[in-house]
């Protein structure tokens, strides 16, 4: 039996999920930058014809967020130990993949997340069944 694996590199600057905003009238909305980033991730994934993993299938996921090193960062620093943190980048990517790669991100039960400096800016994602 062949294991299904979905793997993609998305060449975009990683964006962290912003908190929902509320208007003076009490309506909640998602910030524009967050919506645009989710749309861009979905676009790249749909171009690759993703696997839609079944609802009951527990998934293992690997997310790597790569950033160009700012000139102000010391040469010896390999990792961006500044805000935003990994969990905010992860949440945006997970939400963008809902209904595209899996039914819901609650299927992700084993997750690896990294962020580091690289010459190539983007998001690497790998999904596979846990078993």
Determine the pLDDT at residue 131. Answer: 84
* Domains of the chain from N-terminus onward: 6-129 (3.30.1330.70)
Rounded to whole angstroms, the Cα distance separating 72 from 100 reads: 38
**pLDDT for 2 beyond 70:** no
Determine the pLDDT at residue 1. Answer: 43
pLDDT digits (tens, 9 = 90+) for 92-131: 999 999 999 999 999 999 999 999 999 999 999 999 998 8
Q: H helices of the chain, where?
A: 32-47, 86-97
The pTM is what?
Answer: 0.89
pLDDT digits (tens, 9 = 90+) for 53-92: 999 899 999 999 999 999 988 888 889 988 999 999 999 9
For residue 97, how many other CB atoms are within 10 A of its CB? 23
CA-derived radius of gyration, the chain: 16
């Amino acid at each position: 039996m062949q294991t299904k694996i979905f793997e993609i590199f998305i060449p975009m600057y990683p964006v962290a999920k912003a908190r929902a905003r509320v208007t003076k009238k009490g309506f909640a909305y998602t910030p524009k930058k967050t919506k645009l980033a989710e749309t861009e991730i979905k676009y790249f994934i749909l171009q690759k014809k993703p696997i839609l993993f079944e609802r009951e299938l527990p998934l293992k996921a690997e997310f790597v967020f790569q950033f160009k090193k700012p000139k102000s960062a010391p040469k010896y620093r390999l990792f961006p130990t500044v805000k935003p943190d990994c969990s905010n980048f992860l949440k945006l990517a997970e939400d963008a993949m809902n209904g595209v790669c899996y039914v819901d991100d609650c299927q992700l039960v084993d997750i690896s997340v990294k962020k580091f400096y690289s010459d190539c800016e983007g998001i690497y994602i790998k999904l596979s069944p846990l078993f």
